[in-house]
Every structure is written in structure tokens, then in C-alpha cells.
Structure 1
Amino acid sequence: MSQRLAAAMAEAAESVEAALRDLLPHPAGHTARLDDALLYACLGGGKRLRPLLVLAGADLFGVPRAQSLRAAAAIEMLHCYSLAHDDLPCMDNDDLRRGRPTLHKAFDEATAVLAGDGLQAQAFAILADPATHSDAAIRVELIAALAQAAGPRGMVGGQAIDLEAERLAEAGKRMDMAEIAQLQALKTGALIGFSAEAGAILGGAPETARTALRSYAADLGLAFQIADDILDHEGDAALVGKRLGKDAAAGKATFVGLLGLDGAKARAQALCASAQSRLSPISGDTGVLHALAEFVITRRS
């Protein structure tokens, strides 16, 4: 990882964690257990990739950091809600996330469901607040874009397709490459796409720049997921911080299974180069975004 990207990731993580502490409820009264669960879900580490995308994009268009941090915290809350629900026994049934017990293991299933619900609602409340942007039209656009990215034709739809993949695997069938790419474009890529464009929305960027960022994010999201499949195949569970090999063990199709390990690595590298080329219409300093594309396919966790 380049020194510049390492510094940007560290700064983003520190700033977003501080924003999350400010924007989440402080434990009190009869909701204290729920409040503690919200904090546990959001402050458990992680790469903070989505907040970094928000901040880096916003910096290109002169957005005040106080505004972009609120949008970054909102997307991280929504992402953490998705992880809490994804780990539940009725979904992936995972016990480990980011190297520590998943939310339903640290608390209980009901609290994990409520915490996820609360984080999703809080994310939209933050975007709706005038502190995020003085222009109500901009706030509405952010809310609509995040709802689309998170909803039935976005992340939730991707999770539904993932469940269908499990049912097919149980019947001895597998999805093909196009179907797996669609699954990941929705389940993972949609929120990454919103994160990349959110700063441009806040900054009133021209459509050419927004299109470039959306295209960059589409390549980045797919590269990220292929890298995840590679880590699932040859990674170190202690570094990754979660159970490995579960998709292959369940008989589900993966990029490594469909392309082979070398083919998956080559595809990830091609997507990285494509993502970087997508940024050419943007006149600002896109160095962090270029480095981030390289990072997502070389990371070890």
C-alpha cells in the first residue's frame, strides 16, 4: 500500500469513528443494551472503505469535511447494519466478524436484528438533517440514491439472490458467471457505487464526473468481490477475521471456482486497471482513488 493511501485510510478511519461516536445514541436507560449493540456493530474496526470513498470523492469537489463526514458515517452505519443481518443464523450463520464475535453472538439475535434496523434508520436520519447539506434537494437526492443502493434492486436484492444461490447449490446446481456478477454487483457493488458518488452529489459535480465515479465504482466493487473470493480460497483466517471457505463448502459458485485461481487474479487485475482508467474525465487529484483500486486486489484482509 502506498504511503499516501495508508495515511488517507488512517485519517478516514479516525475521523469516521469520531463521527460515529457523535452521531450514535449514547447508552442510557432501558435502551442501553440496544445502544451498546449499535456501538459494537459500528466501532469494531474494518477497512472503512466506503467512508474513504465518500471523503475522497467529496474532496475532489470542495465539499466541507463536516458535511462529507456525515455522509461517510451514514453509509458506514448502513454497511454495518447489513453485516449484522448477514451474519444472523437465518442468513450466513457466522460467529466471527472482524476478528471478534458477531453481533448476535456478543448480544443475542433479537438485539442484532433491532440494532440493524436502528442503524439503517439512523443513516437516513443523518442524511435528512440540514447539517449534512443546506439544500434540501441535495439531501433528498442523497436519500434516494442510498435507498436505491440498499433496497430490493440493490444490496437487499443481492442478498436475496445469494440465498437463491444456496438453494440451487442444495439442488446440485450452480449459477453461471453472469449471475454471480449480478449478485455481487447488487450485494456489494451497489453500496460501493453510492459511496463513490455521494461526494459528487454533495459537491454538485457535473454529470461527466458522476458518471466516471459510478463506472469506477462498478469496476472497483467487482474487483473487491473477486479479491474476497481469492482470500476465501487462499487467505489467512486470522488476518481476514472471519470464517473462510464457506461458499465453496456450501457448493456455491465463486469467481475462483468459475475462473480458476489464476484466472480470478487476472480478472481482478484487469478490473483494477479499468477502474483507474475510468477516472480520466475528472480534473482533480484522483491519486487516492487510483491507489485504492490497487489496494482492493492486493489486500490480505
Structure 2
Amino acid sequence: MTRFYRTPRQIEAAYASGLPGWQFDQDTMEDLFYDKKVFLFSIKASHLKGVGKGKKAFLWRSRELFDPGAFGHEQQTTGDCVSHGCRNCFDTVRCVEIHIKGEPEEFFLRTATEPCYGSRGHGGQGMDPVKATRFTDEFGTMFRMKYLYIDLTKYNSKIGTNWGRSGVPTEVKEECKKHDIGKWISPSSIDEVKDLLYAGYALHSGQKFGVKNKSDKYGIAIQGSGWNHDMATVGYDDTREVYPDCVFLVANSWGVWNAPPAVWPVDRYGEWPIGSFWVREELYAKYFVGSRSIFAYCD
């Protein structure tokens, strides 16, 4: 039976004990490339090569501008981290498109996680990000609002959980098709991640990696127990103007589970996104890029 967690501490403990929120199958990833549901950086983003080295990009600030407190409002209550990471990824990109790129679109509402999680293909907890990528590519997404046949106004993990075995209802898929999305790129190096972030494209990834709930004295996360977990990456700082290393900001989906970084200059970064933490480049390359389960959302 699927368990549901009421507090950040409960879900943190569940992941530390082996909750399989992130699942991965190399064959299904290769199928995704074959079916042209995801692309290599060299195929679709080669024009961005080298633009991010030594730079910085604070994409989370655009998201907070249009959806204040977005990274802390929906505290994950089951093993549906992939749908949260995926949503945080493309909602961040949507906000960057409006705020930074000046594209003539409207943020409208936060994206709902339930249809994505409902497409995982089984009744248990956890999901392969490949399934999320395929579903969003083929169908699209829905928003936090009340529809004729389903109320998605508030996050309710039981909805997506219940669809896991039976599949996402036809009427939900048809509604998703009204809101199709752009393409997904899977970077294969840390430099490609920097280039994508600098160009305004957030990412989400699954990996076996966790951190402690307090940073080191520099404000950078300390590696902890391994979580099978999917999270979004919503910025980076490769300038060394604040931190001694290049760092990547990872947005968790557990609500208030950790303390703010020991070093976080508000005049530079704005308010700290609840639940987020900085990861050093070396660890990010090893675990996040190295998992080969990483996706950037591009318009």
C-alpha cells in the first residue's frame, strides 16, 4: 500500500531509508532518444556551446517573481518527486521566458504534478523520469485549477497515485494536449549544464544523492545519505565571487526540511528558495550529470 507523509521530516526519513522516488532503466532512456522525445545537446543546442563557463544564472528569481514561494508551497507527500522536479523545471523556464526574454506569454498558473505522476505505469511509489518526459512530450500538461472532471487547484498526491496502475484518464490526456510543451535536451557534461542554465533553461534529474540539512561554513551542501530522488536545478554561480567553487542550486520539493545556506547574500541572490541547496561542481558532475537521467526543458 502506498504511504503518504505529513511532514518534511517524515519524507526525508523515507528517502534516507530507500524510498525509490527516482527509478531508472537505461533501455527506456535509449528508446527515448530513438523516438526523438529527447535530444543530445550537440543536436539541438550546439549554438550554446561555451556560453556558460565562468558565468552565473539565477533562474529561480524569475520563478519567485511570478509565483512567490513556489519552491516551498507544495510539500511532497509521497514518492512523486519526478513530477515535482519536472514541474519546477518547466515552470521556471516559463517564468524566465517572460521575465528575462520578454516573450509575449502569460504565466497564468502553476503547473499541476498529478497527470505526470499518474503516467508512471505502476501502482507503487516512484517513477522513471523517462516516463515523465515521454508523457509531457506526447500530451503536455495541466494547471493548478478546477476542471469539469477533476479539481487540481491544490496539490493532492493521491490523485496521481491512484492513476498509476490504471493510467491517466482519457479526458485528462485530452486536456493536457491543449497545453503542449517544448523539447527536452539531455546534457552529457557539466559544461553543457552551465550553457543550458545560462541560456535560461532549467533542468531536472534523478540520482542517488542526498545532503545534510545544514550547509558547511561556506554555504555549500554537505553530502549525506543517498536519496533515490529527482530534483530541479534552477541556477548556478561559476564566478567564485561568493563561493570558493562553482555551485549549482538544486530545488528540493519537501517544504521546510533544511536550514538556509550559511552564506547567502540576499542583495545578490534575492530571498532563499525554501528547501534549496548549493551543490559543488565536482559532486554535481558525478551524481547529477553522471546519472544519465538528466533533462533540460527548452522552448
Q: TM-score, normalised by structure 2?
A: 0.26
Greater fraction helix = 1
Q: TM-score, normalised by structure 1?
A: 0.26
Larger radius of gyration: 1
Q: Which structure has the higher relative contact order (CA within 8 Å, separation 6+)?
A: 2
Greater fraction strand = 2
